[in-house]
Amino acid sequence: MRLRSKRTIRSHRPFEGQGASLYRDGEFRHLRLWSGMFLPGAESTIGGNNVQKTARIDFVTDPTNQFLVDTTALANTTVEFQVRTFKDDVENESNFRPLTLSFDGDGEDVTSIVGRGVLLSIEIRAAGIVRLRFRWVADRSGLQPTSFLAIRTAGPSSPANATVTDSDGETLQSGYYEIDTPALLDSAPYTYKLQAKNGSATLDFITGITFTADATGPTAPTHGSVEII
């Protein structure tokens, strides 16, 4: 037999100690209010999972730093995750840098690259080379590119793709970039696109870049004579 006071205190302590909690889709808490009198039942089982004070899907305590999530249950969904730290019964409630991931029918991560780019200039250089200058604006969600490619989509020849990568093999962050094409012909215009790439994931972030290269240069000078008076 249990006697309940009109003033009840639920003693679940999800943020005891120190660690971090993993949440999804902006759902952070199950808020439950009780009046002075209530009828006990399945929804108010003391210590039951349905009266927990947090809606987190997993948590770790220091020094563990890896969450475990069954992604098969997330098949064919796009989910926003966020990590919140806690210590001594207090949780950091900042909504800082949520991460959005997409999963296929098998629960495999198929997150795409979702940044964007702005073409700044097309510089026609000597010997058929064209320099494309652009700005990449990264997005915290999705994959970060490991390389940028300038890819010919139309034109009088089939040059190899031109590529920009980080010298240390890191992902490419927001910033200004430039790519020089291989030597091109000047008999007709070319059309190019700029593509961000990470493994098998790609994003064509600027398309329809059209220009005519300069493969021949200026007319060669001819011999002449000068009369000095």
- Check: CB of residue 208 under 8 Å from CB of residue 189: no
DSSP, collapsed to helix, strand or coil, labels residue 44 as helix
Q: What is the pLDDT of residue 47?
A: 47
Rounded Cα gap, residues 151 and 80, in angstroms = 33
Residue pointed to by tokens 């000047």: 186
Q: What is the pLDDT of residue 114?
A: 87
The structure tokens listed for 31 are 């808020």
Cis peptide before 221 (omega within 30 of 0): no
Q: Which of 27, 140, 30, 24 is nearest to 82 (CA)?
A: 24
Any idea what DSSP says for residue 74? Answer: G
Q: Report pTM.
A: 0.62
Q: Which of 114, 134, 122, 139 is nearest to 175 (CA)?
A: 134
Q: What is the pLDDT of residue 44?
A: 54
Q: What is the pLDDT of residue 214?
A: 95
The segments of the chain whose pLDDT lies below 50 read 38-39, 47
Structural domains of the chain in order of their starting residue, each with its CATH number: 18-102 (no CATH), 116-211 (2.60.40.10)
Q: What is the pLDDT of residue 45?
A: 53
